[in-house]
Amino acid sequence: MTDEVFEVPVVATGLLAEFAAAGLISASGVHLARTLSWLTGECRDEVLLAVALCLRAQDSGSVCLPLDEPHSVAGELPWPDPAGWQLLLAESPLVVVGAEAAANQRPLRLIGHRLYLERNWQSEEAVRTALAQRIALPPPALDRQAVADAVMRVSRQRSAAQELTADQCAAVDTSVSTWTSVIAGGPGTGKTTTIAGLLRVLDDLVTHRTSVALASFTGKAAARMQQSLDASLSGSDRDGAVWKHLQVQPATTLHALLGARPGGRMTRDAGNPLPHDLLIIDEMSMVSLDLMAALMAALRPGTRLVMVGDPHQLSSVDAGAVLADIVSAGLPAAGGSPRSAITVLTHSHRFAGPIQHLADAILASRADDVLDLLASAPDGLTWAQTDPDPVLVETLNPLTADVVTQGRAMVSAARAGDAVQALSAMDAHRVLCAHRQGRYGVGGWSRAAEAELRRAILGYGREGEWYLGRPVLITRNAPDLQISNGDTGVVVRIDGQIQVALSSGDNPRLRSPWLLDSSETMHAMTVHKSQGSEYDAVTVVLPSAESPLLTRELFYTAVTRARQRVRIVGTAEAIRQAVTTAARRATGLGGRV
C-alpha cells in the first residue's frame, strides 16, 4: 500500500471508511452501499463492503468480484474471511444465489465465489447463452470440397509474394464453414488480407445476394479497416462494386450498426435484428461485455459472425475482456464439431527485427530480455532512461526534434491546403501516454509539445483556437456529421476556408471547426485511444512503477502501434513492472463458454 491519503465520504463508517481511506473503494461505491442498506435494511459491514468493491471492480474493467482473491488488491486491510464472507452474502437480502434464479430480482448475484452486479451477470449470461446456441447450430450447408477449391483458387489469385499463408487459408476456411469464428493475431499478421480472402471465397461459393457488414469499435478503427480492405482488394476482379453476389456495406462503428440511442438503448435487437448474412468485427479486443451482449441479441442465427482482433492488446475501457475470454476458453465450430473455430495468425508482415523482438519479449514476460534489447539500442529502438517529466521535455532532444519536424510538416501542408499530406504528417509520429492527466499524462505532454512548436515555428498558433496545423482528436460521436469518438484530424486552409481534415484513407473528410463541439488538441494520445491505428514512429511515455495502469497489455499495445521506430521514455523499474504485470480483469465468461 502507498502512503497516499484519500477523502472518505462522511457517510462511510466501519469497513467502508477503512477501505475508502485506502483508496480501494470510491465515493460512488460507498453511496451505493449505503443506499441499498437503507432500502433493504442490510447493515452488515462485510456485505456493504462487497457492494462497494463490486462497483470498484466494474470501474476497473472487471465483470465480477472474486471473493477468494482480496489479497490481490491490497494487503494491510481487514479483509473478511472468504468462506465466511460468501456465507454472509448468500443469506443477504441484497444477493440472489446461483445461475438458475430469476433475473433482476436483487441488485447482486453470487455464483460460486464470484459476486456480480446483476446487470453485469445478465450481460455475461446473455453472451454465453448466445455463443452456446450458435455453436450448437448445424454448420452452414456448403460442400467441403467446393470450399477447399475456392480457398485454393482465391489464394493463388494474388501474386506469389502475396499468396495467402497456410494459416490465412485455414482462417478463411473456418470462417466460411461455421457460424461463429475468430481470426486472432497481432499487428501486421495479415488479418485484413484474410478478411479480403474470406469475402472473395464467399462470393465464389454463394449463389444469391449476400449482405455483408463491416464494423469496428471506433470510427478511426472502422476507417482504418475500410482503407486496409480496399488496399487488399485493389486490382482484383472483386474490387469496388464488381462482386458477383456480395453486397458489402462500408465499414462503420458497432454503435452505428446497432443504432445506438441515448441511454444505451439500441434500435437493433432481438425484435429488430440486423439484416446481414455476414458480420465481420475488427478490433474485437475493444468490445466491452455490454456491447457484445447487445450485438448478440441483434444477430439472427443464420448470420455468420467473424471476430477479428489481437487478444493480447488492451481490453475495452468498459467492463469485460470478451475476445481474450473467448480465445482463452476456446470456441468449437458449429454443430458440435471438435474442430476449433479460432485461427491464430503469427507471422507479422508489418515489422520484423527489433520491434518484433521487443513485442515478443513483452508478451513472453521476459523483462531481462526487454531491458537488454533496449539497452543495446538496435536500429528502430531507443530508450531514454529517465522518469518522464513534460517540464523537462527540452532535455529529450531526439523527441523534441521529432515533434518539431512533424509540426513543421503539418503546418506547411495545412497552409498549402494539402489535407492528405497534413494527415500523413500527423501519423508520422505519435506520443503515447498511459494516463490522461498528471506528470505522465496526455495533458501535460501535449502542452509541452505545443510549447516547443511555438518556439520553433514562426507564427505557430497565432490564428487563434483553430490554428493551421493543429492536430485534433474528436471526443464524442456526432452521427449527423459522420464523425466518431476517436477520429483524428488536422486544421487546414482550403480555398481560403478553415477546415478540419479528418482521417479517412485517401479522401479526407472536411468539416467546419465551428461544428465540432467535442474536440481537443492532440499532440499526445492515450494508449487506449491509439488502438486500431498505426504510426511510422511512436514515443511511449511510461508512468512510474507504482502506476496501476502499467501493465503488459498496455506496453505491448503501445509498442505495436509503430511501423518503423519506437522510443521508450521511462525507468528500468517501470519497464520491468510493465512487462511482469498482466492486466487483471475478473470475469466468468472464459470459464463458462
How far apart CA 196 and CA 238 sit, in angstroms, is: 9
Q: Per the structure block, which three cell numbers stand in for 380?
A: 528502430
Q: CB–CB of 457/471 below 8 Å?
A: no
Tell the residue number behind the cell numbers 452521427, with chain if given: 479
As a whole number of angstroms, the distance between CA 61 and CA 22 comes to 20
DSSP string for 303-344: SEEEEEE-TTS---SSS--HHHHHHHH--B-GGG-SSBSEEE
* CA angle, residues 174, 176, 182, in degrees to nearest 5: 50
Distance CA 310, CA 323 (A): 8
Where does residue 543 rank: exposed (0-12), middle (13-18), buried (19+ CB within 10 A)?
A: buried
Please report which helix (H) or strand (E) contains residue 158, including its range.
Answer: none
Three-point CA angle 400, 405, 407, nearest 5°: 95
* Residue 94 near residue 107 (C-beta atoms within 8 A): yes
Q: Is 187 annotated as a binding residue?
A: yes
User: What are the cell numbers at 70?
Assistant: 482480496
C-alpha cell at 375: 539497452
Question: Annotation-wise, does 191 bind a ligand?
Answer: yes
How many Å apart are CA 229 and CA 206, to the nearest integer? Answer: 21
Report yes or no: 176 and 168 within 8 Å, Cβ to Cβ.
no
Ligand-binding site membership of 75 (annotated): no
Distances (CA, A) of 502 to 255, 257, 279, 420, 496: 19, 21, 26, 9, 18
186 is in an annotated binding site: yes
188 among the known binding-site residues? yes
Backbone angles phi, psi at 90, to 5 degrees: -60, -30
- The enclosing H or E element of 351 equals none
Neighbours of 129 (CB within 10 A): 13
Q: Kind of pairing, strands 252-253 and 210-216?
A: parallel
Annotated binding-site residue? 189: yes
Instruction: Return the C-alpha cell found at 106.
Output: 436483487
- Determine which helix (DSSP H) or strand (DSSP E) holds 412, and give its type and residue range: helix 397-416
Q: At a CB cut-off of 8 Å and minimum separation 6, what does 353 contact?
A: 378, 379, 380
Residues 6+ apart with CB under 8 A from 360: none
- Look at strands 497-502 and 509-511 and give their pairing: antiparallel
Residue 446 has a CB neighbour count (10 Å cut-off) of 21
Q: Are 528 and 313 in contact (CB under 8 A)?
A: no
Q: Are 203 and 363 in contact (CB under 8 A)?
A: no
Please count the residues of the chain: 593
Q: Which segments of 219-366 does DSSP mark as H helices, in order?
A: 219-233, 254-258, 289-297, 322-329, 353-363
Binding residues, by number, are 185-192
Binding residues for ATP, by number, are 185-192
